[in-house]
A and B are shown apart, each in its own frame.
Chain A
């Protein structure tokens, strides 16, 4: 395919060809014969009395509704090492940079369950009820690796993409914030121009010292939800 510039040059070239050879000789003559043999090439369009007809204009991009942001909620299970698995609620804001990359900010809330200490201690609780609220935020970068269609029986074909996502954040529980690295995979089903559904699994890695010595823990989040583009 020719580019816009090539197109313009082609048009000008045709117009120049259309101006008869007589016209060119007259123009040459008017410049005098003393010029070297390359004079013909140095002639500009204006010398031949022509003006380019193609005008390049810009479409104001702001006039088009751009929908690169996605906002959504999801729910699922959050497994915290030593503290069972509990329901989790997550809200996210995603910005799609290109068809391949996106950045995402999320906020989530869950509860901690009973640890084995709580059960075996005979009444003494490791954490108070306030300290059992757990919430986290994370800031992540994602990449759509396998965009394509998913087929549901013979009847439906749905656009989808499999994505990898990872980032950093902080997890707050038991009275302190913990630096958290997260990473995972997800699958997005795109229902129509503004609605999509997603399923994902993410691992949250942070240090904790609640049960004695300090250790790194892996905490798995499983979730499903929907989001809207705007």
Chain B
């Protein structure tokens, strides 16, 4: 009975996902015009001036000003700050804001027209490829801690590998999952998602339990959740999953997991 139910559920979700996949793939091909890319390390200041800070943050003081028209070299980036060096006889290096760098030009023509270097950043509809997740929650009344690495195949679809440690009063566990996640509305600030996956669960009963031994079971999961974006590369999420543990007993075990955590994209 449970096997049939499971098969039915799997089939339902397969169809559901295939449909969403097809829809989003189409939407993607329509918006596929990529901006021409140019690799530059030297740009020209077109603002009246750019302020240089001693460190990559608003708390670090301004110590130098680069005048409009001067050339600067980009050395490295940290978060939203760029380490730049002036192209002068005695180079000065310091940190400039992303906002200021957006207004630098890669070339300036004689007639005064310019080609701007749009230092694009990731946004919700064009997310970064990689994502690191840290979460904590409840796994059938035991505490669960998990960390995951995900890769975005498209803005709508991501694959994820996740390790979870479960710490309960009567038994502990470790779980490894691979899942595929679908984001129907990746550009929304509060963005829902659905997921399907499979994994292995190792259960270690506590020392006080008699007649119990370590088990390793395969698991399947279905679930969903909600991402709440606080920044372009940072979001909180609430996640729910139902794990079906394929035990060696007659009945499979169903376990609900609730989690709260955060993602960073890079």
Contacts and interface: CB of A to CB of B under 8 A. Distances in A.
B55 A190 contact: yes
B136 A168 contact: yes
A58 B266 contact: no
A176 B36 CA distance: 56
Nearest to A4: B116
Interface string B210-253: 00000000000000000000010110000000000000000000
B29 interface: no
A114 interface: no
B74 A54 contact: no
A179 B43 CA distance: 51
A103 to B, nearest CB: 6
B57 A147 contact: yes
Interface residues of A, number: 50
Contacts, number: 153
A61 interface: yes
Contacts of B19: none
B55 A67 contact: no
B160 to A, nearest CB: 16
Given A103-B262, A193-B76, A177 B165 contact: yes
Of A1, A98, A229, chain B has the most CB atoms within 10 Å of the CB of A98
A175 B207 contact: yes
Contact-residue bracket for chain B: 35 or more
A44 B52 CA distance: 41
A103 B76 contact: no
Given A4-B116, A59-B118, A97 B35 contact: no
Contact of B103 (A4, A64, A146, A157): A4
B2 to A, nearest CB: 31
A212 to B, nearest CB: 14
Contact of B167 (A147, A161, A167, A177): A177
Contacts of A101: 231, 234
B42 to A, nearest CB: 11
B106 A59 contact: yes
Interface in B56-93: 56-61, 74-83
Contacts of B264: 95, 97, 103
Given A59-B118, A139-B145, A97 B234 contact: yes
13 contacts: A57-B36, A57-B106, A57-B115, A58-B120, A64-B41, A95-B132, A98-B79, A103-B134, A139-B136, A147-B55, A159-B54, A159-B59, A179-B143
